[in-house]
């Protein structure tokens, strides 16, 4: 089984977060850190990965996720929807 991955813009990130389905995800590469955003039926799961350290955060609303990401990503971030 394979999946397709498409690069999206920072401007398109808000839309993708709000309509994220349970079989989709977003990967962000910024400043040596990788951030993965997924969604279950009840909440968002954000996995931050830097070096050998992973941290998992859970948020209920898209606005919370977008606020968190706004503090972590810069204009040079690469964002992929899969």
pLDDT tens per residue, the chain (82 residues)? Answer: 566 899 999 999 999 999 999 999 999 999 899 999 999 989 999 999 999 999 999 999 999 999 999 999 988 999 999 9
Indicate whether 47 belongs to any domain: yes
Indicate whether 9 belongs to any domain: no
Indicate whether 52 belongs to any domain: yes
Q: Structural domain tally of the chain?
A: 1
Indicate whether 6 belongs to any domain: no
**pLDDT at position 4, please?**
84
Indicate whether 1 belongs to any domain: no
Indicate whether 10 belongs to any domain: no
For residue 53, give its domain range.
15-81
Indicate whether 71 belongs to any domain: yes
Residues 10-43: b if buried by 16+ CB within 10 A, e if exposed: beebeebbeebeeeebbbbebeeeebbbbbeeee
């Amino acid at each position: 089984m394979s999946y397709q991955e498409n690069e999206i813009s920072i401007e398109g990130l808000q839309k993708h977060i709000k309509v994220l389905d349970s079989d989709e995800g977003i990967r962000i590469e910024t400043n040596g850190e990788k951030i993965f955003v997924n969604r279950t039926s009840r909440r968002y799961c954000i996995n931050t990965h830097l070096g050998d350290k992973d941290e998992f955060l859970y948020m209920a609303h898209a606005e919370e996720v977008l606020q968190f990401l706004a503090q972590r990503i810069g204009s040079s971030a690469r964002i992929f929807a899969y």
